[in-house]
Homo-oligomer: A and B are copies of this chain.
Amino acid sequence: MKNLNIGILGLGTVGTGVFRLVNQNEALLSRRLGQALRIKKIADIDIKSDRGIPIPENLLTTDAYQVIDDPDIDIIIETIGGDTVAKTFILDAMANGKHVVTANKALLAKHGKMIIQQASENNVELGFEASVGGCMPIIKTIRESLVGNTILGFKGILNGTCNYILSQITHERVSYEAALAEAQQKGYAEADPSLDVNGDDTAHKLAIISSLSYGKQVKLDDIYTEGITQITALDIQFAHQFGYCIKLLAITKMTEKAVDIRVHPAMIPYSHMLSNVNGSYNALSIIGDAVDEMVLYGHGAGMMPTASAIVSDIADIARNIQVSAPNRISTLANAARNTQPINVLPITEINCRFYFRFTAIDSPGVLSKIAGVLGKYDISIDCVHQKGRKSREGVPIVMLTHQAKEADVRAAFSEIQALDVVWEAPVLIRIED
């Protein structure tokens, strides 16, 4: 049985997970693949720290090029992250004829086009299942299982940190700050959580799957992105009273003239599958013209789930090597070399239902003033909550609207904010039914 030699760049959580999984299920993998997977070399700047699993010293090096330039290595796993050295290493590995598997969403979202081109020029494969949704087979499902479908859109919870924080505020009634601190303590959030809580990580993932699904280049800058830092326990409680929970969603829908693509907190009804996605779990709802709605759910991050996705890419490449068919499915299977940027619908053009919370003085005419401005902009109110919660900071007036246009909502908000009865900047949360 031929060995397939693997090199790993980056021995953090995910890199260690790949080492652990390939060793733990070695016999099973050999049987399933008809060839043995052997981790030949691992590079990391720190080869001294304990990874909680014995790793033979002779596998370790601090020099990435001992992996990249090793002629015996067939596949290189990049688990460094970020878009600086990781990019150089991947491009050099491909130039050396190595297949590459990566979990690096930031890199792919920013430089995917260049990396895919490098893979194509060197006739090597690029595996990136682990870059979106951890263990969930999102990339494989889009490229292979839904091959017969026109993809019409997605709705996804793609960041475990944000979902953990929002779940804790919802179910444990803690503050945003307390939930974030807890997430950091449990290792779900980085010391600097901004990439997660600002929605950028979710936007990276959305850029990857929408490019793949629509067969056109989706630029990161074109994705309207709003994080969860403004979400309060108060809004989560009001949402709950209306039968909704609040999740950070990646949303995209194909419309006739352009693609609606955005990342922001949204209210989803408790009857929808995504409302039951709690803690650090992720889920993606995919709409295809034949399948209607399909949902994938699983751990979107973590050592072993991410390693599982990486190993599935290794297995695909191993099977292709075995039958001498690298790139049996081209990286952008759905794109047909069409890397034109996609036409994006401006956020002001979207139509949806909205949740508003105004903080106003507690006097009889206030609601009528606010409603008057909304009416002027054709924003029709579905229901209003005005009871209780009186405080020095004013009384909250909460409402859900019928379908309205974001541009109209923004215009109305400017006028409402200028009213002398309204005290704070109004809160707006989009509703996804």
- Decide if A25 touches B316 in the complex (CB within 8 Å): no
How near does chain B come to A302, taking the closest CB pair, in angstroms?
8
Chain B contacts of A288 at CB under 8 A?
Answer: 308
Known: A297-B295, A298-B291, A315-B148. A137 touches B136 (CB 8 A): no
Is there a chain B Cβ closer than 8 Å to A62's Cβ?
Answer: no
- Decide if A144 touches B25 in the complex (CB within 8 Å): no
**Selected contact of A292 from candidates B29, B299, B334, CB within 8 Å:** B299
Known: A21-B148, A32-B147, A140-B137. A305 touches B276 (CB 8 A): no
Chain B contacts of A323 at CB under 8 A?
Answer: 323-325, 328
Is there a chain B Cβ closer than 8 Å to A257's Cβ?
Answer: no
**Mask of A354-398 contacts with B, CB within 8 angstroms, 1/0:** 000000000000000000000000000000000000000000000
Chain B contacts of A145 at CB under 8 A?
Answer: 129, 135, 137, 140, 308-309, 312
Q: How far is the CA of A144 from the CA of B309 in the complex (A)?
A: 10
Can you give 16 A-B contacts (C-beta < 8 A)? A21-B290, A25-B148, A25-B150, A28-B150, A137-B145, A140-B141, A146-B308, A148-B308, A283-B295, A289-B304, A290-B304, A290-B311, A291-B304, A319-B328, A320-B328, A323-B323
Residues of A within 8 A of B (CB): 21-22, 24-25, 28-29, 31-33, 129, 135-137, 140-141, 144-150, 215, 271-273, 275-278, 283, 288-299, 304-305, 307-309, 311-312, 314-316, 319-320, 322-325, 328-329, 333-334, 336
